[in-house]
Copies of this chain bind each other. A is one copy, B any other.
């Protein structure tokens, strides 16, 4: 059976909050791109970032080993992604993967949280 997932995904609402409350590292405002590679071959993954007012950035490259997941904090990408600036992201992989996008926003004393499936295509 074909490994579950798709080779291309997109996230339209990226945004790194600019400040935080609470203990590090768990409660730092952050976003993560969560990638599952349930197949038998390592996945070479590229992230391209799109902005409102400037050219795209990337590709950022990472490997998701076979039968593993990587929960990549966007805050940890190098070169860094600007905070308090909307962005979007296209994720491409050379084998099928599954992508979910999560934000923890602790700008106020109690954290807010969302997660959503990325858009396959």
Contact = CB atoms under 8 A, between A and B. Distances in A.
B68 A100 contact: no
A111 B114 contact: no
A38 interface: yes
A74 interface: no
B119 A4 contact: yes
Given A69-B50, A69-B51, A119-B117, A88 B36 contact: yes
Interface residues of A, number: 63
A56 B52 contact: no
B115 A112 contact: no
A27 interface: yes
Contact of A98 (B10, B87, B111): B10
Interface string A89-103: 010000010111111
Top 7 closest pairs, chain A to chain B, by CB: A12-B100, A69-B88, A36-B88, A13-B34, A112-B113, A110-B110, A71-B86
Given A52-B70, A103-B115, 18 more contacts: A4-B90, A12-B35, A13-B101, A17-B26, A27-B108, A37-B50, A38-B50, A51-B68, A52-B71, A55-B67, A56-B67, A69-B88, A98-B121, A104-B112, A105-B111, A116-B117, A117-B117, A119-B120
